[in-house]
A and B are shown apart, each in its own frame.
Chain A
Amino acid sequence: MRMNRRGFLRQTGAVAAAGVLPVSMVRLAFGQEGQDFTFAYISDSHIQHIRGNEFVRNWDQGLKRAVAEANLLEPKPDFVVFGGDLAQLGTKAELDHGAEMLSALRYPLYAVMGEHDYYLDLGEYWSELFGDHYYSFDHKGVHFVVLNSVLTYDEWTYHRWETPERRMLEMAGLDNPNGSPFMVGERQREWLRRDLARIPRTTPIVVLSHSPLQKIYKGWNFWTEDAEEVQAILAPFEKVTVLYGHVHQIQYNQIGSISFHSVMATAWPWPYPETYAHSGAYVPVMTVPMNRADPFNERDATGWQFIDVHTGRVAAHYTLYDNKNRTVAYNAATGRPEDTEYQNPARRIPPQAHY
């Protein structure tokens, strides 16, 4: 995309003046004075190379806007998470171009691996740019775990496809029956067990993964094959939140002590699984869906979020372009995440009806 610097400043300036930020922010709060904090979450930008120095303008715009708006957040987030699928086909050109746009962020960045970043060279170039495929860190009393949850069976990864390019293309098609279900895998689960062994059970845990760590719809890989095993490792902790990308839509759920929140894509929205007449799949029943996308508004049903961490629980604030912003926050009374405005069925609006 070829917006010059002045145009860019004019656009972001207008956004600031209006005071409306299309960001998904997450606040984590856990009761210690001065310890509540926020971070921004940008995900699924799918930067797509055409040829030479040309990239798909539409997807570039989504990421540039999210970066610009995250930089304008007040109060400032402590860091930014990029939730995976920076690239469309995992090429150096796409990852470089995406990393260049992300480099405009004025905060530390933690990156999560997506399948579109991984299956060309198995994450090798991504690692040069962003570091380890899985890792953990501590921030103001919260233990963060980043997983590479887009692995799959070895036979599929190493033996089925004649070239890495073919492997990437087969995994890139969401509805491709030649794809393979995502998983965390035994080696990484063992690492997770060891990583969590030293953490007190009362410490809030936030897991950042690309795939859902729950089973929603296998046909589109809204799925993690070893979700139950991963959940079992997390279950002993009192406050656990899983934040995931991949699904390009609002979802949330509660399984035992584990809260699940999806984040928006900056690139394009996806339909909910039940709108495919032959999927037989549904999103978690407590989810109030995002508005049905209007294709005539290019950025509709995309966005980013900032996250509030309060008393170790997450409130995800969805910044939605061309739409009213949404907040999904843990409700201590009901023990699950809830939309702060639309959870009551009587409050739902016609654009939330998907079919």
Chain B
Amino acid sequence: MRKFLIAALTALAGSTALADEFTEADLERWAAQFESVAQEGRNLWTSPELGTNGVACAQCHPNAANTHPETYPKFQKQLGRVAQMWEMINWCIRNPLEGEDLAPGDPRMTALLAYIAKERRGVPLEPGKH
């Protein structure tokens, strides 16, 4: 009975997989896209261009350490609400960097988030952890 079921499911999967087929070449291309955006994030992280006073993110956060992307969204007691990571990034841009907020969808914000996540790869998600 079980053998029949597996055979039936395999046949079904085989018949629907065509619509979402991708190759090794696709996987490599997508990974390269991510790497290039993460690299752009690293460039921003170590440059003064996000702020106005020459301070860079990497001065306080080498290798994006102590940013804890795996804990967001989480309650920030100073904001009095649950916040997302991009809101904290903007807080840092406004305060230590004396710069102006990036829009949440700004490609530079995406690049920063990609770089932070890449440096934290492999760490389990712990949303809400302080």
A: residues with CB less than 8 A from B are 46, 48-50, 54, 56-58, 88, 173-176, 219-220, 268-271, 275-279, 292-296, 298, 354-355
Contact = CB atoms under 8 A, between A and B. Distances in A.
A90 to B, nearest CB: 14
B62 interface: yes
Interface stretch (B2-10, B12-20, B31-39, B117-125): B117-125
Contact of B119 (A269, A277, A294): A277
Given A278-B119, A298-B95, 18 more contacts: A48-B54, A50-B52, A57-B53, A173-B46, A173-B58, A176-B46, A268-B96, A270-B62, A271-B62, A271-B66, A276-B62, A276-B65, A276-B119, A277-B119, A279-B63, A292-B66, A293-B66, A355-B68
A57 B51 CA distance: 14
A277 B62 contact: no
Interface string B90-118: 01100110000000000000000000000
Contact of A174 (B55, B62, B122): B62
Contacts of A278: 63, 119, 122
11 contacts: A173-B58, A175-B58, A220-B62, A268-B59, A271-B61, A271-B66, A276-B62, A276-B119, A277-B119, A278-B63, A295-B96
Given A271-B65, A277-B121, A50 B53 contact: yes
Question: Most chain-B Cβ atoms within 10 A of its Cβ — which of A49, A54, A276?
Answer: A276
Given A276-B62, A277-B122, A48 B68 contact: no
B23 interface: no
Given A270-B60, A276-B63, A355-B68, A56 B54 contact: yes
Contact of A56 (B55, B58, B120, B122): B55
Contacts of B61: 271
B67 to A, nearest CB: 9
Nearest to B129: A355
A276 B116 CA distance: 11
Taking residues whose C-beta sits less than 8 angstroms from the other chain, chain B's interface range is 20 to 34
Nearest to B60: A268
Contacts of B62: 174-175, 220, 270-271, 276
A219 B63 contact: yes
A253 to B, nearest CB: 21
Contacts of B65: 271, 275-276
Question: Most chain-B Cβ atoms within 10 A of its Cβ — which of A50, A277, A292?
Answer: A277
Contacts of B52: 50
Contacts of A279: 63
A141 to B, nearest CB: 40
Contacts of B68: 355
Q: Closest 10 A-B residue pairs measured CB to CB?
A: A175-B62, A271-B66, A271-B65, A296-B78, A276-B65, A174-B62, A175-B63, A276-B63, A268-B60, A275-B65
A219 B64 CA distance: 13
Given A48-B53, A48-B55, A275 B123 contact: no
A268 B66 CA distance: 13
Contacts of A58: 55, 96
Contacts of B121: 277
Nearest to A217: B62
A50 B66 CA distance: 26
B76 to A, nearest CB: 8
A54 B55 CA distance: 13
Nearest to B45: A175
Nearest to B56: A173
Contacts of A46: 59
A275 B66 contact: yes
Nearest to B71: A355
A131 to B, nearest CB: 28
Contacts of A270: 60, 62
Nearest to A58: B96
Question: Most chain-B Cβ atoms within 10 A of its Cβ — which of A175, A220, A298?
Answer: A175
A240 B120 CA distance: 39
Interface string B64-97: 0110100000000010000000000001100110
B65 to A, nearest CB: 4
Nearest to A294: B78
A176 B62 CA distance: 9
Contacts of B63: 175, 219, 276, 278-279
Nearest to A48: B54
A26 to B, nearest CB: 26
